[in-house]
Amino acid sequence: MKRYVQFSVLLFLFGFAPLPASAAGPVVIDVPDHCTVVDTAGVPHAFPQDDSPSEYLAVCALEAAKEAGALTFTLTNDPSFGLYVQSVNGISPGATEYWAIWRNGALASCGVGCLPVAQGDTLSFILTDWMTNAESTTVALQTNLLAPPPPKSDSGGGGGIPNSQLNVADALAYLASQQREDGSFGSSLLSDWVAVAFAAADPGEAKVKLREYLRTATPALSSVTDYERHAMALEALALNPYSDTSVDYISPIVHAFDGKQIGDTHLDNDDIFALPPLLSAGYTTYDNIIQKTTAFILSAQGQNGSWDESVDMTAAAIQVLIPVRMLPDVSLALIRAEGYLRSKQLTDGSENSFTTSWVRQAIGALSWTPSGWTENSFTREDRLALFQQSDGGIEPESAGDQARIWATAYAIPAALGKSWPMLLQSFMKPTPTVSTPPVVATSTSVVATSMPSAVVEARIEEPDIAPPPRAAGREKATIEPVLPVLVNRQTAAAANAPLGDFFSHLWNAAAALLSSLL
């Protein structure tokens, strides 16, 4: 009888224990564009916040799932490392465990409070032992975004979604029509930029073909910026830049670091475009390479707030510095850079879609909408949409297919208000091994702006693109685009907590427990 009672108790416990949501597939949740969550101390926290990267956040997905009865969770606001997920479905982590967040099969780059989500994303909350990396309970959600509110018409900002009328579906269809049989777009440069566009808006089969091409291709890369751009393209399509291809595309970037900066000491573009792929490849603001490279970028900012006296380069710098704005002097640099872009007027008729796209991405990264800016050539009359042609491509047919592919790839993320860091998936550093990274040029003799330039053609894989004429008085081309990624690496489900503090806190707690037992 006693044994029967024990067996009944076990049945009761197992029968009512929370089961992983992934057992029957992720639960589909409608995610609102705002929410308020209450921590374990009873303190409310409203999202999005002023520095949120998007109106749609993982924390609001959690709250929506809770309201729908799909799961329960608690958030704790710790003085040492901020707001983090304490429990899911009544399960609290053990002494060496934490709730890790994964997005679309990759470890999330940020905690629930600063992790943006898009239509169809899958969020997985996995109970993980940080000492053994063992994983147990998994709870999965699939996001279904609700329609965003209409753009704000006042001068208050904060939307982060430019009110562009560009037809993204037509732009995607144009790119798909230009795709080659092998899945590429003719050159490494164009294929990489289209990969970023496809991360912003999924065209379906074209994205699948391009991802497979990038997984198997071994492009001829000759400079640090080539590796930076290609690594970002891989991360944009959820390909591990360390191991999902036959070449490690992160080590050459790290190898080009001289202790103070990356690549050519006379250039800043190879430093600016190094931050995104590195931050998505397991590096954090606690790493020396990130701190020193950021400091070098700040030292290159001009008195007027620009980089290289260039609208293009300044817009690029804003996008990559937003994720590291917690480092010294970055916030002030961003304020100065924003002032430069706000004041820049191109009254000579030299506007182009390339520069307009980068500026709109910078506006979105700063959590503004163009309607919240003083009207200038980048916001009035929706210049970006005016560049779109009847076939969906950007720039007139006279510019040539290659230039139009490039321009269209830039315009899609810009129209959706998605900066480069928002589009990259995150990966962990591999276990250290003794290896010799590929030797690449640490001097980037050829640079480019957001706009195609004839000098770019010196690169082996660059397309033969005839650039639009540059009007007199326009700033000189200075750098070549290579992409950026997301913020401070946070593997734990902490809202805004640095990874180092999180594990330090756990280690101290574990050490204290062991000390009390010995």
Residues 206 and 97 in one domain: no
Is the pLDDT confidence value at 39 over 80?
Answer: yes
Strands (E), 222-280: none
Is the pLDDT confidence value at 49 over 70?
Answer: yes
Is the pLDDT confidence value at 230 over 70?
Answer: yes
Q: For position 322, what pLDDT does the model report?
A: 92
Residue 404 one-letter amino acid? R
pTM of the model: 0.59
**pLDDT tens readout for residues 319-343:** 999 999 889 999 899 999 988 988 8
Domain coverage including residue 222: 168-458
Residues 143 and 191 in one domain: no
Phi (first) and psi of residue 503, to 5 degrees = -75, -30
Percentage of residues of the chain with pLDDT beyond 90: 43
Residues 121 and 227 in one domain: no
Residues 120 and 172 in one domain: no
Residues 134 and 252 in one domain: no
Full strand arrangement of the beta sheet holding 97-103:
27-31, 135-145, 122-129, 97-103, 106-107
Is the pLDDT confidence value at 146 over 90?
Answer: no
Tell whether 470 is covered by a domain.
Answer: no
Is the pLDDT confidence value at 468 over 70?
Answer: no
What is the pLDDT confidence band of residue 219, given thresholds at 50, 70 and 90?
very high
Give the helix ranges, DSSP H, for 30-99: 58-67
Of the listed ranges 16-20, 231-235, 356-360, 461-465, the least confidently predicted one is: 16-20
Q: How far apart are CA 474 and CA 510, in angstroms?
A: 59
Residues 428 and 350 in one domain: yes
Q: For position 365, what pLDDT does the model report?
A: 86
Is the pLDDT confidence value at 411 over 90?
Answer: yes
Is 350 in contact with 394 (CB distance < 8 Å)? no
Residues 88 and 232 in one domain: no
Q: How far apart are CA 158 and CA 340, in angstroms?
A: 19
What is the pLDDT confidence band of residue 345, given thresholds at 50, 70 and 90?
low
CATH code for the domain in which residue 294 is found: 1.50.10.20
Is 250 in contact with 231 (CB distance < 8 Å)? yes
Better-predicted residue by pLDDT, 308 or 382: 308
Of the listed ranges 84-88, 353-357, 376-380, the least confidently predicted one is: 376-380
Mean pLDDT along residues 103-132 = 83
Is 271 in contact with 263 (CB distance < 8 Å)? yes
Q: How far apart are CA 275 and CA 296, in angstroms?
A: 12
Residues 38 and 175 in one domain: no
Residues 224 and 106 in one domain: no
Residues 130 and 234 in one domain: no
Q: How many domains does the chain have?
A: 2
Average pLDDT along the chain? 77
Mean pLDDT along residues 162-189 = 92
Mean pLDDT along residues 485-506 = 36
Residues 295 and 220 in one domain: yes
Residues 318 and 227 in one domain: yes
Is the pLDDT confidence value at 8 over 50?
Answer: no
CATH code for the domain in which residue 47 is found: 2.170.130.30
Q: For position 173, what pLDDT does the model report?
A: 96
Q: For position 98, what pLDDT does the model report?
A: 87
How distant, in Å, are the alpha carbons of 312, 393, 415, 465 from that of 468? Answer: 15, 16, 21, 9
Q: Tokens 């490392």 sit at which residue?
A: 81
